[in-house]
Each structure stands twice: as structure tokens, then as C-alpha cells.
Amino acid sequence: MLLKSNGHALGSAEKVKHLYFAPEGKSDAELVPHFYVEARIDFNDVRTGYRETVSLSKALEIYSDNADLLWTGDMIREVDPRQVKPVMPDSARLGRLPAFVDANFISRMETQFIQYLLRSYEARAYRNSALRTYSFSGESRQDFIRRCRELLDASMRQELDRLREAFNRRLEQITQKYLRDSDSGRLEEDRAASQDKDIFSRYSERIAGLFLHAGPKHRSAAGPLRRLQEGQDLEERLSALELEVHEEITKIEDSYDDKAQSIDEYIIHPNLKDVHFVRTCILWMPAQAA
């Protein structure tokens, strides 16, 4: 059976499927023919591991018999597939369907649509240059940075452990040099020795706390460094050592924070095998406003 459009036979397109766009509040609008395509892009990028499925519904007004015309973004209309109906609205008026629209024309339009997608459509991912890893589909920049910090955590912990061992050796050297036995029987010497042990114990705990709270998850927990008043030579040495520990830990934290935030945007274009047609047809819809 031949389709009719305002009394005009559609014989040249009798094998082409027709659908209708039902605009809200404009049931009497004149509908003109568009090439309509519903397609799916299955991104499966081997290099990045990026996987995502994207559904597209696009329409292009038919105003030229040149089906090989290159598509550009300003020519293409987004279509809500929920407004596409198989039956023409009762009060709609159909324009004229050009005689050159047939199955071969639709096939050539499909080819141009694929070329448009391969040329212009893109997905965006993030790449961390330090880790040489890529974001997942739908992963935001901040979520990706957070994941990179987690991936770097083990390496940073190893570096902090080596730093702690180095400073533990320096604490041991201070112990051997400054701490004396506190039960010599001489009151003043024993009191001074006991005070030195208390000072050493206090600073040892503070230095251990700096390492305990190091890292991106606990960085703010250590609080600001507080230098005690200068007193005995032992306390001056320990205070300077504590400050040095704080500075070295900060250097490591900053280094790994820079690595976690070493992010570039990565563009992924679909391959031919990624594009799948769901359906193509003639879609009757209102002309796009100039």
C-alpha cells in the first residue's frame, strides 16, 4: 500500500519506514521529512579500558538530494524518542516528500551519519600521567583523583616507613649521647637524668604521632607544629629533629599529592565496530526555526 502525504503518492519511498514526531501544543503544525536515526555506540577502548554504551536519537532535515553531504553539528537535531509515534497526529499537516527519497538514499545517509560520528563524536576520560591509568566511565575528575591517591597510598607508606626508620636511628643516637642512668644515688644528677628521660619520651611520642597522622587521609589530623621553648641542649636537639621530621613528611605528602593530581583529559572517538543502528527511517516533524 502506498503512503499518502496531502494527496501526494510516496511511491519512491514505499519501502522506507515512516514515523511521526508529536510536538506538544502544536498538533496542527506542518510536518516536514527528516532523516531519523536511533543508534548505539558501545565504547570499548583497549588502551584505556574505557567502556560505556551511549544511545543517540538524531534527525536531519531533508533539503538536498545530496546524501553524501558532510554532516555538521548545527545541522543535526536531538530528538526525544518518547515523542516519536508510529501514527500521524490527527490534525497534523504533512509537507512534500522529495521524489529522490528512497531506500538507497536512506542507506547513503546512514553512511554519512557513521562518518559524522567517527569524525565528531567523542567521550572524555581522565589520564593520570604518574600512574599511567585512566578514569572509569562516569567517574568525575575529583573521584578519579581520590582513587589515584588510594593507588599511590602503598608507595607513599613505604617511603614514610623508610623515613621513620632513618629518624628512629637518629633518636637512638640521641639516646646514647644524652640519656644517663637515673639511679646513681646523687639526687641532683638523678633528677636531671629523669627530666631528660621525660623530655625524650615526650618528643618521641610527638614524632611518632607525626608519622601516624601522615598521608592524605589523616593529613590535617596532626595539627600545627608547636615548638617548645628552648631549654636544655637535649630539648633543643629534639625540637629541631621534630621540625625536620615535619618538613620531610610534608615534602613526601606534597610529592604524592602532585602525582595524584597530575591529570590530563583524554578524548576517545568511536571506531566503526562500535556504532550500531537501532533503526533509521523518515521522521515527520516541524521544521527547525531559522
pLDDT on residue 184: 54
282 grid coordinates: 523518515
Query: Where residue 14 falls among pLDDT bands split at 50, 70, 90?
Result: low
Residue range 239-268: mean pLDDT, rounded: 94
Q: What is the pLDDT of residues 145-197, one digit of tens each?
A: 999 999 999 999 999 999 999 999 999 998 888 877 666 556 777 787 788 88
Q: What is the pLDDT of residues 124-143, one digit of tens each?
A: 999 999 999 999 998 999 99
For the chain, the straight-line distance linking the first and the last C-alpha, in angstroms and rounded, comes to 35
CA gap 103, 67 in Å, rounded: 12
Q: What is the pLDDT of residues 76-125, one digit of tens each?
A: 999 999 999 999 887 788 889 999 999 999 999 999 999 999 999 999 99
CA gap 144, 141 in Å, rounded: 5
Q: Say if residue 60 is exposed, middle or buried (CB neighbours under 10 Å; 0-12, 13-18, 19+).
A: buried
CA gap 52, 288 in Å, rounded: 31
Q: What are residue 41's DSSP bridge partners?
A: 54, 275
Residue range 250-279: mean pLDDT, rounded: 94
Asked whether residue 12 carries a pLDDT value surpassing 50, the answer given is no
pLDDT on residue 9: 34
Q: Which of left, alpha, beta for 6 (phi over 0: left; psi -120 to 50: alpha)?
A: left
pTM here is 0.68
Instruction: Tell me the CB-side half-sphere exposure of residue 284, using CA atoms within 13 A.
Output: 27
- Cβ-Cβ contacts under 8 Å for 258 (sequence gap 6 or more): none
Q: Say if residue 94 is exposed, middle or buried (CB neighbours under 10 Å; 0-12, 13-18, 19+).
A: buried
- Alpha carbon 188 to its chain centroid, in Å, reads 66
Select from 243, 237, 241, 238 the least CA-distant residue to 225. 243
Q: Say if residue 113 is exposed, middle or buried (CB neighbours under 10 Å; 0-12, 13-18, 19+).
A: buried
Query: Which H/E stretch holds residue 85?
Result: strand 84-85
Residue range 39-52: mean pLDDT, rounded: 92
Mean pLDDT of the chain, nearest integer? 84
Instruction: Judge whether 38 and 10 are in contact, CB under 8 Å.
Output: no
- Alpha carbon 37 to its chain centroid, in Å, reads 29
